[in-house]
Structure 1
Amino acid sequence: MPRKGMRSLCFSPKHSSSSTFSPPSSTPSRLGFSPSRPSFYDSVMDRTLELAEPIITKWSPDTTALARVTSLFYENRREAKEFIKTVNNLQKAMHFLAAENSSSEKLIRAQNLMQIAMKRLQKEFYQILSMNRAQLDPESVSTRSSRTSVASSYSSYDDEDEDVAAADESISEVEDASMAAMADLRLISECMISSGYAKECLKIYKIIRKSIVDEGIYKLGVEKLTSSQIHKMDWNVLDLKIKSWLSAIRTAVATLFHGERILCDQVFAAADSIRESCFTEIVKEGAMILFQFPEIVAKHSKKSPEKIFRALDMYTGIANHWPEIESIFSSESTAIIKSQAVTSLVKLGEFTRAAMNEFEAAIQKDSSKSPVAGSGTHFLTVEAMDYLSNLADYSNVLADILADSPPSAKKKLPETYFGFSDSEESPAPAISLKMAWLILVLLCKLDTKAKYYKDVSLAYLFLANNLQYVVVKVQTSNLKYLLGDEWLTKHEGIVKQFAANYERLGWGRVIDALPADPMALVAPARAAEIFRNFNSAFDQAHRKQAHCIVDDRNLRDHIKVSIARKIFRLYREFYNANSEKMAGERNLAVVVRYASEDVGHRLSDLFFGHLESGASSLSESPASNSRRPRSH
């Protein structure tokens, strides 16, 4: 109750006679009352004033030097509790005396004492808050306490026997000081609020605690930035600010706001509305600066593909702390703070979807036409798959972001294009469909690039190499869990089909040059013809394929084993059966140019060419950030 309200209570006009305690004229004298004697409440007030005056005046800051330089709660906590008890008794006596419409002189005297007491308690309240900043800092409070456990600890400090608290050896000296300070603050706040001095109490608390919160936000590196500032800011500078924010939100939510929530709950435990409004005024400015930052970044930064990871980091920062955010800002007065956090999540989600669309467009717009030397892996494949595998690390938050916006591809193409089932009975998650769609866009672009090879066999080797890179990247990242075994099995099969087509077109003439039955008896002339045909076909094929590259060891071994099984085995058997017949042949070294071991060595040396740089693909390369720095 405000001071003015207290005064109006103490000096209210006289009530009707029915509300005043005065015995009727017929009351027997044995009851001990007579109209000329003071009322019972006058007697109570006399006794209360007699007890209160020496205790309160002793600690009047204006009358004694001791009171000016010492703290009541630091000097003698037992006396401090007696002081609080005395003030509470005085307040009750004033209330009853005012209700009885008794002597206003006593009320004036009591009110003067009350003002002295409140002035003393204001000073004590300020001193405890300012002198215990270390013990009451949010980190100390949040790590040593919880919103439920702190309340139970007050019993030890509210007890008349202070030795009860000291008996608990498990509480450290620092923790003991922290709990004692909170207990003292609670005693003072409850006394001041019940006495009608809530405004004075809250003013002191808000000034000191808000300065601590604001200082904490500043030290965490969180700045209040405008939309214009963000829009004009160089990305490298903004990236550093985002990193600071990512570190700040963990500390701000788990320590700064959480600790302040606990402290406010305990100091004003007896007054719900006061507690909530006080907490809101203390943290609102800092919390709004913190939670507005992601929204401003999302709305006013270029939505290029490589920036998506910072947006997802910020989304994760809020989402991971959402239970704490909901708990800390659960009241109606803090709803605006929680609403701001939700708005930032929405804007970060929009930013993420837009950046993914930009990534898709960058793949489709890639215009490089130069074939990759050696039919190796295209840079577009490396960049795109590194990007997608990194995105898959955020599968949890991406699932939330994409849940309400399934890719339009599902409506345009049958499920067989995606590589996994997506039936009505068991629909695939939106994130799985999106990833499958983006890989499909990449594969379609690679199929277009394969057409730039004049030799069809090299085009198939190019497709096999690139699809193998895609498959391995899926197998070794979280994409495996999003796309599933069915997708992998299907695309592994396609890789083998591409490899088989390469083998058929690139080495088919060599295989055809050898007889189906290499052990069959043939005339020397026919044998010489077969050797010559084989030499020509093998030389031509080897010359064309010698510069080819297969980076993946498993794919390389698969292709080489398959070719060797069909060429080396047939040639070795034919060579063993017919080489001696050529002993009298003119130009023997030309006719039988290769021993079987020579063929084997030449085949084993295939696919180790040096990869030359393919065309760069994305205008802003995700590969440059393929293993981007992650905030932890």
Structure 2
Amino acid sequence: MPRKGMRTVFFNSPSPTRMTPPASPLPHTFSESLMEENIEVAEFVITKWDSLLESNSSHCNIGSLFSDDNREEAKLYLTSVKGLQKAMQYLASHQASSEKLVRAQTLMQTAMKRLEREFYQILKSNRDYLDPESVSTHSSARPSTARSSFSDFENESENERDDNESIPEVERVSLAAMTDLKAIADAMISSGYTRECLKIYKIIRKSIVDEALYHLGVESLTSLQIQKMDWEVLELKIKNWLNAVKMAVKTLFYGERILCDHVFSVSDKIRESCFSEISKEGALALLGFPENVAKCKKTPEKMFRILDLYEAVSDLWPEIESIFSFELTSTVRSTAVNSLIRLGEAVRTMLTDFEMAIQKDSSKSTLPGGGIHPLTRYVMNYIIFLSDYSGSLSDIVADWPLTIPSPLPESYFGSPDNEESISSPISVRLAWLILVMLCKLDGKAAMYKDVALSYLFLANNLQYIVRKVRQSNLKFLLGDDWVTRHELKVKQYAANYERVGWSKVVASLPENPTAEIPVDQVMDHFRKFNSAFEETYTKQTSWVIPDPKLRDDIKISLARRIVPIYKEFFETYGGMQLRKKMWVESLVRYTPDDLGNYWSDLFFESGSSGSVSSSSSRGGRSR
């Protein structure tokens, strides 16, 4: 059969799926015939749905091409658009002025309007299913379930449909919507309708991001507005920000980035531009807040909120760097970095101010009873809170050398071999603050007129410091050696207190309590002991030792130092064998057991204020 006849049979046979088009000049090439076929198929499919659109224009959900009931129609529509695109490309190259090209362009415009409407409708009707939390959860959990392009949409297999049916309803709808959006975006972008597609996407998704940030309490505040706020108001805003930032970064922006990357995966440039316009404004408002707070007036009391802000940004930095990795969102990364820098500078300033406040403490009054000084409590509680931020503080002080008049004493940290403790910048910094406080306490101890009370004051305060270190993160920062050495220092202060405070009582007893001595010397020892014990006891009834262990240790130590000697002396010269003598009855006021009972009342904050007299002797005292 002649070639011409073959073309006539092949191309002019009646089609069961469409009406036979009007007669037209026979195509001259095989490619031309295929392109005309594409145009005819596209015209049939596109005009069909265009007429449905017109007839149902008042009902947005009626006639949706991408509904579950029309999956096959949607695939056919996208296939026809793809074929029409190929035909236009061919005609533009070979028949640029032909009526066929004009006809194809008109069809494409109609198709794009339809896809534009579908794109908008999917974004709006699936708003709840395309929230960032759902997108981030589903996409990370099942990345393979979403098709990668609209060509994949055409070739959906039975296995993929079965997989989708096994997914929970919410996740299935979310994945289906993401797939449909991507298929439409691919079709519109490849057909030259990128701007129309992006305009719809940006408007809808930016409104979702902005609304989510609003509900999280994120405000766009200027530096001047923040600086004018009372601290109580600003602290509330900081708390709100701390509650919002993790959700905003890890869920909102992360989910939005995943959705944008998926829908516009066909072009890196497009997805970069799209994500930037949607998220940049909100992200800058969110991550610029800490930097503005850092510019406010700095006082030590604000330290921990500043550290909270620093820690939050620092912890989220890997996510921030990954989510806003595009060049167009580099200002978001820069804002986060600047916030960290400014917050770090604020912390350094406040640490310096805190140290100066300790050094400048000028209170001259002594604490009654030698108890825990308010400065000790305040500074230690402050430093303990600082130790809870050791990770962030380590970053902040890493390149900030400690400037002190002279090196820290080796004995302060421990042996020179303990390099781990010495080399930690945050350990050195916190140890230095404690040392500054200890120096101030030495000065306050000197204000006591009674030397014994000075030593008791130092023992009490250092014991408090050591106990606080043991019970907090400071133990790990300062090390066991630091704790051990300062515990020894507490024992030295306690021993000095016992030596000075009870020296008269010890001196009143004979060196050898069982040696035979004249009666007048026996009487003199008893008189001196009574006088010394009563004077010392009466004076120290108002002294306190808040720590139970230290209190018991000192009482036990005093008992071991005095009671054995007194007991031997008492049994030798104050026992029943001498009771018949009147001077024994009048001078021996205390039994060895009495001493323990008297000590049991000492050093409590509500200690006895009564006097010691013979009226309470012999029978002992009840606790």
Q: TM-score, normalised by structure 2?
A: 0.89
Decide whether the 8 Å contact of 1:546 with 1:609 is kept in 2: no
Q: Secondary structure at the match of 2:423?
A: coil
Indicate the SS of the match to 2:105. Answer: helix
Shift of 1:62: 8.8
1:265 matches 2:261? yes
For 1:100, the aligned partner's letter is H
Partner of 1:349: 344
Pairing 1:545-624 to 2, within 5 Å after superposition: 545-580=540-575, 582-610=578-606
CA offsets, 1:373-398, max 9 Å, x none? 11000011011101101110111111
C-alpha displacement of 1:270: 1.3
| Correspondence for 1:11 | none
> Which residue among 23, 40, 50 is the counterpart of 1:50?
40
State the distance in 1 between where 2:436 and 2:125 align. Answer: 65
TM-fit CA distance, 1:586: 3.7
Quote the residue 1:239 is aligned against. 235
The letter for the 1-side match of 2:566 is Y
* Residue of structure 2 aligned with 1:72, choices 53, 65, 68: 65
What code does the residue aligned with 1:231 have? Answer: Q
Report the equivalent of 1:509.
504
In 1, the alpha carbon distance for the partners of 2:31 and 2:43 equals 18
Equivalent residues in 2 for 1:226-375, closer than 5 Å = 226-300=222-296, 302-375=297-370
1: distance between equivalents of 2:268 and 2:5? 45
Q: Which amino acid aligns with 1:482?
A: L
Deviations, residues 209-256 of structure 1 (Å, cap 9, x unaligned):
000001111110011111221111111111110010001011001110
Conserved? CA contact 2:294–2:306, under 8 Å: yes
* 2-structure distance, mates of 1:77, 1:318: 45
Q: Distance in 1 between matches of 2:51 and 2:320?
A: 43
Which contiguous aligned blocks of 4+ residues in structure 1 show a shift greater than 3 angstroms? 28-33, 61-64, 66-69, 155-164, 166-170, 420-427, 584-590
Partner Cα separation in structure 1 for residue 356 and residue 568 of structure 2: 55
Match of 2:492 in 1: 497
Q: Quote the Cα distance in structure 1 between the aligned partners of 2:570 and 2:155.
A: 105
Query: Deviation of residue 41 (structure 1)?
Result: 3.3
Q: CA deviation at 1:269?
A: 1.2
Structure 2: gaps spanning 5 or more residues: 8-24, 608-623
Alignment of 1:162-241 (within 5 A): 164-168=160-164, 170-241=166-237
Identity of aligned pairs, percent? 53
Residue 430 (structure 2) pairs with residue 443 (structure 1): no
User: In the TM superposition, what are the counterparts of 1:4-23 in structure 2 within 5 Å?
Assistant: none
CA displacement at 1:49 relative to structure 2: 1.5
Asked if the contact 1:221–1:248 (Cα under 8 Å) also holds between the matched residues in 2, the reply is: yes
Following superposition, the deviation at residue 110 of structure 1 comes to 0.1
SS of the aligned residue for 1:340 comes to helix
Instruction: Kindly state the Cα deviation for residue 292 of structure 1 after the two structures are TM-superposed.
Output: 0.3
Deviations 1:487-536 (A, max 9, x none): 11111111111111101100011111112322223333322211111111
Counterparts of 1:87 and 1:116 in 2: how far apart (Å)?
10
Superposed, 1:95-134 pairs within 5 Å as 95-101=89-95, 104-134=98-128
* Aligned residue runs from structure 1 range 357-506, under 5 A: 357-409=352-404, 412-416=406-410, 418-420=412-414, 427-506=422-501
- How far is 1:568 from its partner? 1.5
**Separation (CA, whole Å) in 1 of partners of 2:81 and 2:32:** 17
How big is each residue's C-alpha offset from its partner over 1:581-624, in whole Å with a ceiling of 9 and x where there is no partner? 6434445443111122111211222111339xxxxxxxxxxxxx
The Cα of 1:162 is off from its aligned counterpart by 6.2
C-alpha distance in 1 between matches for 2:139 and 2:271: 18
CA separation of 1:170/1:395 partners in 2, compared to 1, >3 Å: closer, same or farther? farther
How many residues in Structure 1 have an aligned counterpart in Structure 2? 581
Contiguous gaps of at least 5 residues in structure 1: 1-27, 612-632
- In structure 1, distance between residues paired with 2:562 and 2:595: 9
What is the distance in 1 between the residues matched to 2:546 and 2:185? Answer: 74
1:41 to 8, 28, 31: 31
Higher relative contact order (CA 8 A, sep 6+): 1
The 8 Å contact of residues 406 and 433 in structure 1, kept in 2 or not, is answered as no
Q: 2 CA distance for matches of 1:424 and 1:579?
A: 56
CA RMSD of aligned residues (A): 2.4
Q: AA paired with 2:186?
A: E
Q: Helix, strand or coil for the counterpart of 2:472?
A: coil
The residue aligned with 1:23 is none
1:15-47 deviations in Å (ceiling 9; x for gaps)? xxxxxxxxxxxxx989999x9962333322221
